[in-house]
């Protein structure tokens, strides 16, 4: 063993470049491994992404053409559309950056590793900030590029529009990113864990109040009214405030669309300057107080609120009262773990929150008062969005459940109950979660869009059947193709079984939606009459049965395999 090194007079810590190089290498290795391990998944993901891009592009293009029919409508609606889009992105990106920064800086082992290394705190914070920007901005890529292509196509823009548009996006991202970083740091630094939980409750309450406020506003809002334009602008003035970054992007894009290059550049400079300043400020402030915040985060981990724990146990037990005792305990355990894992519920909350936001902003008119085509088409679109969100959730979070239990052995191997009951417990848990949120969004849609009772019931029944089918697939295929040697649920979901489950789930949804699409088309073309109502009922009944049968068969196959398997 050679002697320890002598003390260097002044140690010069490495810069962020060394860390970025390492991260790039890890990303490259990861990409290569994914392509090698699951080429089908990569191909399927590519196809789905392309399909989503194409659908979004068509939707945006259709929207811009629709608005362009009338000059006044175009002048009012297009800037408003952009304002809504960027305000929503500002809020969503701030929240998602806060979640990512919190996880990366205060809960991951890597942060502790870097803290113990001779690195400036600023370097660690800047690295994690950059990572959270990278991971949170994929939505911009997904939504922004088709938006750009659509508006460029409709307006016949010159080539300069494209780089300007991309530059606006890139300059915009650091602003919510920095706000998210500051939010995460402040929560850890200044709130004890119990207060953090209180804050979460307050946040949920504020969200509910905001939704109710939005509903009230919608109810008061008469579309055809002599004062509607005044009311319209008064309500929207908040999101068009000059101090909001979303307004700068919107005005910049407006200027770029109108080929006012000077104005476009000015707004871009404002965005860049603010983004850079906010990033600099956030990184330095968080670095300055990082050691203290890290200390608090580490110290408070594991503290639990005893009464809350007992209450959640009691409620979870009541929800699954229809199950015998042992599977009820398993389902209640899964529900409590779900509620305590922000990674799981926050993704579902963000996706359905986004959808609720869209619903609240949709009813510029009542579906019931609109043309028949609309009254059937919009609920169908809602059903489509809900189904795909649920498929994402079940593939990522429900599919790995059996594999994770198998890894622990005691449940599958040692618990004195039939393994089929374990599957039923997992299925019940998944159904409770998915059906609760899907029903909530369904009811919101029915209320806001004033969808007829019959149509609401039909759509709810199909949604419930989608939940049954997807949960059955995730649990059944999870039991048929488990991955007991893997600890990481994300890797379980990314494996062969996870890919098959995802493809099967999408195929099931596609079948069910194709059926519903046919119903929607017929109703839209022919209007509602007694004959079409019967057809709706019969076809919807078939679709509901299809979902239930598919889920049940998958569960049976999974249970049969699990019964024989050696763990």
Partner 1 sequence: MADAICIESVVKRFGAKTAVDNLTLNVAEGELFAFLGPNGAGKTTTIKMIAGLLMPQEGRVTVCGHSMGHNGLAAKAQLAYVPDQPFLYEKLTGREFLHFVAEMYGLSRAQRDESLGELVDRLDIGPFMDQLADTYSHGMKQRVVLAAALLHKPRVLVIDEPMVGLDPKTVREVKDLLCDMARAGGTVFMSTHTLDVAEAVADRIGIIRHGSLICLGTLAELRTQASGQESLETIFLELTDTRDETV
* Residue placing its CB nearer to partner 1 in the complex, 14 or 309: 14
Which residue number, 125 or 164, has a Cβ lying nearer to partner 1? 125
Q: Is 22 in the site for partner 1 (CB under 8 A)?
A: yes
Following DSSP, what letter does each residue of 419-468 receive, concatenated?
HHHHHHHHHHHHHHHHHHHHHHHHHHHHHHTT--HHHHHHHHHHHHHHHH
Q: Which of the stretches 117-125, 138-146, 324-332, 450-458 binds partner 1 when contact is defined by CB under 8 A?
A: 117-125
Closest CA to 188 of 85, 268, 87, 294: 294
Among 69, 71, 72, 116, binds partner 1 (CB under 8 A): 116
Residue 427 CA, distance from chain mean position: 22
Instruction: Report whether 133 contacts 97 (CB < 8 A).
Output: yes
Which C-beta is closer to partner 1: that of 117 or that of 207? 117
- Under the binding rule (CB under 8 A), the answer on residue 368 touching partner 1 is no
- Residue from 69, 72, 118, 566 binding partner 1 (CB under 8 A): 118
Q: How far apart are CA 182 and CA 98, in angstroms?
A: 8
- Phi and psi dihedrals of 370, rounded to 5? -85, -175
CB of 35 to partner 1, least distance (A): 13
Q: Which is nearer to partner 1, 120 or 563 (CB)?
A: 120
Give the binding range for partner 1 (CB under 8 A) out of 28-36, 210-218, 382-390, 398-406. 28-36
By CB under 8 A, the residues from 175 to 194 that bind partner 1 are 192
DSSP 3: P
Q: Is 4 in the site for partner 1 (CB under 8 A)?
A: yes
- Cα separation, 455 vs 63, in Å, equals 26
Residue 12 contacts partner 1 per CB under 8 A: yes
Instruction: Looking at residues 286 to 345 of the shown chain, list those that interact with partner 1 (rule: CB under 8 A).
Output: 291-292, 294-295, 298-300, 303
Residues of span 29-68 touching partner 1 by CB under 8 A: 29-30, 33
Neighbours of 441 (CB within 10 A): 20
Interaction between residue 8 and partner 1 (CB under 8 A): yes
Q: Which residue, 28 or 233, is less far from partner 1 as judged by CB?
A: 28
**C-alpha 131: how far from its chain's center?**
18
496 binds partner 1 (CB under 8 A): no
Rank residues 25 and 325 by Cβ distance to partner 1 and give the closer one: 25
Tell me how many residues contact partner 1 (CB under 8 A).
40
Closer by beta carbon to partner 1, 122 or else 266: 122
Contacting residues for 548 by C-beta, under 8 A, at least 6 apart: 465, 468, 469
- Residues in contact with partner 1, shown as a per-residue x/- string from 95 to 114 under the rule CB under 8 A: --------------xx-xx-
Q: Which pair of structure tokens corresponds to residue 39?
A: 């080429």
Q: Least CB distance from residue 479 to partner 1, whole Å?
A: 25
Residue 120 lies near partner 1 (rule: CB under 8 A): yes
C-beta closer to partner 1: residue 26 or 200? 26
At residue 144, φ and ψ (nearest 5 deg) are -70, -40
Q: Which is nearer to partner 1, 298 or 541 (CB)?
A: 298
Q: Which is nearer to partner 1, 394 or 486 (CB)?
A: 486
Select from 5-13, 127-135, 266-274, 325-333 the region that touches partner 1 (CB under 8 A).
Answer: 5-13
CB of 12 to partner 1, least distance (A): 6
Residue whose CB is less far from partner 1, 297 or 523: 297
DSSP designation for 240: G
- What is the Cα 445 distance to its own chain's centre? 18
- 3-class DSSP assignment, residue 322: coil
Q: What is the largest CA-CA distance in the chain?
A: 92
For the CB of residue 534, give the shortest distance to partner 1 in the complex, in Å: 57
Which of 49/291 has CB closer to partner 1? 291
Contact 543, 461 (CB under 8 A): no
Which of 111, 164, 108, 103 has the alpha carbon at shortest distance from 136?
103
Shortest Å, Cβ 312 to partner 1: 22
Stretch that binds partner 1, among 14-22, 43-51, 433-441, 536-544 (CB under 8 A): 14-22
Angstrom distance (rounded) from CA 278 to CA 63: 34
Reduced to 3 states (helix: H, G, I; strand: E, B; else coil), residue 321 is coil
Residue 349 backbone class (left: φ over 0; alpha: ψ -120 to 50; beta: rest): alpha
CB neighbour burial string for 392-428, b if at least 16 within 10 angstroms, e if fewer: bbbbbbbbbbbbbbbbeeebbeebeeebbbbbbbbbb
Among 7, 224, 321, 414, binds partner 1 (CB under 8 A): 7
The CA distance from 231 to 364, in Å, is 12
Helices (H), 156-224: 161-172, 174-190, 193-220
User: In the set 101, 119, 383, 504, which binds partner 1 (CB under 8 A)?
Assistant: 119
Residues interacting with partner 1, by CB under 8 A?
1-5, 7-8, 11-14, 18-19, 21-22, 25-27, 29-30, 33, 109-110, 112-113, 115-120, 192, 291-292, 294-295, 298-300, 303
């Amino acid at each position: 063993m050679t002697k320890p090194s002598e003390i260097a007079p002044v140690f010069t810590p490495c810069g962020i470049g060394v860390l970025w190089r390492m991260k790039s290498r890890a990303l490259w290795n990861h990409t290569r491994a994914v392509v090698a391990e699951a080429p089908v998944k990569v191909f399927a993901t590519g196809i789905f992404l392309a399909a989503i891009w194409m659908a979004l592009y068509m939707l945006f293009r259709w929207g811009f053409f629709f608005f362009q029919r009338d000059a006044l409508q175009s002048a009012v609606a297009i800037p408003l559309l952009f304002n809504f889009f960027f305000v929503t992105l500002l809020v969503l990106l701030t929240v998602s950056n806060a979640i990512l920064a919190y996880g990366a800086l205060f809960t991951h082992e890597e942060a502790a590793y870097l803290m113990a290394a001779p690195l400036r705190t600023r370097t660690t914070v800047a690295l994690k900030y950059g990572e959270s920007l990278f991971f949170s901005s994929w939505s911009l890529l997904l939504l922004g590029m088709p938006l750009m292509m659509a508006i460029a196509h409709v307006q016949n823009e010159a080539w300069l529009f494209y780089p300007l548009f991309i530059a606006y996006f890139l300059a915009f991202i650091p602003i919510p990113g920095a706000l998210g970083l500051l939010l995460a740091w402040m929560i850890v630094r200044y709130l004890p864990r119990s207060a953090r939980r209180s804050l979460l409750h307050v946040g949920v309450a504020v969200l509910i109040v905001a939704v109710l406020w939005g509903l009230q506003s919608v109810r008061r809002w008469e579309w055809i009214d002599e004062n509607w334009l005044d009311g319209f602008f008064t309500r929207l003035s908040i999101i068009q405030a000059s101090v909001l970054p979303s307004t700068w992007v919107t005005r910049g894009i407006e200027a770029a669309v109108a080929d006012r290059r000077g104005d476009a550049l000015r707004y871009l400079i404002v965005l860049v300057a603010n983004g850079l300043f906010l990033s600099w400020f956030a990184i330095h402030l968080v670095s300055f107080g990082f050691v203290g915040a890290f200390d608090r985060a580490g110290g408070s981990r594991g503290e639990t609120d005893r009464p809350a724990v007992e209450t959640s146990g009691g409620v979870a037990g009541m929800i699954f009262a229809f199950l015998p005792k042992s599977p009820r305990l398993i389902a209640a355990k899964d529900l409590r773990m779900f509620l305590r894992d922000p990674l799981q519920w926050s993704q579902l909350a963000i996706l359905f929150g986004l959808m609720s936001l869209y619903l609240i902003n949709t009813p510029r008119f009542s579906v019931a008062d609109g043309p028949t085509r609309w009254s059937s088409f919009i609920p169908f679109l809602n059903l489509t969005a809900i189904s795909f969100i649920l498929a994402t959730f079940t593939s990522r979070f429900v599919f790995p459940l059996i594999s994770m239990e198998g890894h622990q052995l005691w449940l599958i191997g040692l618990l004195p109950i039939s393994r089929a009951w374990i599957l039923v417990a997992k299925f019940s848990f998944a159904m409770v979660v998915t059906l609760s949120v899907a029903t909530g969004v369904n009811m919101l849609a029915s209320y806001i869009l004033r969808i007829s009772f019959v149509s609401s019931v039909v759509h709810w029944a199909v949604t419930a059947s989608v939940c049954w089918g997807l949960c059955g697939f995730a649990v059944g295929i999870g039991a048929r193709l488990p991955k007991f040697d893997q600890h990481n649920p994300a890797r379980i979901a990314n494996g062969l079984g996870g890919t098959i489950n995802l493809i099967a789930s999408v195929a099931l949804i596609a079948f069910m939606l194709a059926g519903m699409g046919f119903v929607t088309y017929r109703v839209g073309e022919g209007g509602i009459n007694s004959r079409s109502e019967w057809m709706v009922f019969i076809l919807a009944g078939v679709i509901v049965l299809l979902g239930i049968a598919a889920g049940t068969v998958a569960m049976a196959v999974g249970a049969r395999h699990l019964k024989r398997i050696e763990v």
